[in-house]
Amino acid sequence: MERTISPNNGAPIKASMPIKTATVALDDIGYDGWQAELRLNVRARTYDAFLSQDRDEFWTAFGEIVIGWNFLSEDGQPLPLPKDGLGPRDLPIDILNTLVLRYVEAMADSAAIPKARDAASATTSRTNGVGPSNVPV
């Protein structure tokens, strides 16, 4: 005999997945007041594509990650979002590099247990050969 277990004493639970975001400000790279809102709780396939070396896969994923921004072109017109037609080579490289770096940092911080990484902590690796590792052996 099969039994179905219903949550909430038999009443179905209806709840949409919340959209978790991080806001990245670009003031410190010379774009005063510019901000981008990036989604943190993307699907695993989207994050995998974001980390891909394939430009088209990356850009498609980036379009799913960018929720919104207040970026303007040289003539003061709003820059479209990647999902709305901005091409992979249309965003200034300093902005793109900063968004990618800060997004990866925000993802790491959002998954940190029990606390976020200290802003002054150094990145270490046992495989890059650059410096000593802080991973116990």
Nearest Cα to Cα of residue 111 among 46, 41, 58, 64: 41
Residues 6+ apart with CB under 8 A from 59: 82, 87, 88
On whether the pTM is more than 0.75, the answer is: no
Structural domain containing residue 50? 21-110
Does some domain include residue 104?
yes
Q: DSSP string spanning 72-100?
A: B-TTSPBPPPGGGT--TTSS-HHHHHHHH
Residue type, 19: I
What was the pLDDT predicted at 34?
98
Residue 129 belongs to a domain = no
- 25 within some domain: yes
Residue 80 lies in a domain: yes
| Whether the bond into 114 is cis, omega within 30 of 0 | yes
Closest to 65 measured CA to CA, from 100, 92, 32, 89: 100
Give a yes or no: residue 10 inside a domain: no
Q: What is the pLDDT of residues 11-61, one digit of tens each?
A: 666 788 899 999 999 999 999 999 999 999 999 999 999 999 999 999 999
Domain total in the chain:
1
- State pLDDT tens for residues 59-94: 999 999 999 999 999 999 999 999 999 999 999 999
Helix (H, G, I), strand (E, B) or coil at 39: strand
Residue 60 lies in a domain: yes
Q: Degrees (nearest 5) of the Cα angle 122, 130, 117?
A: 20
Question: Domain for residue 122, yes or no?
Answer: no
Report the C-alpha gap between 103 and 40 in whole angstroms. Answer: 8
Domain presence at residue 35: yes
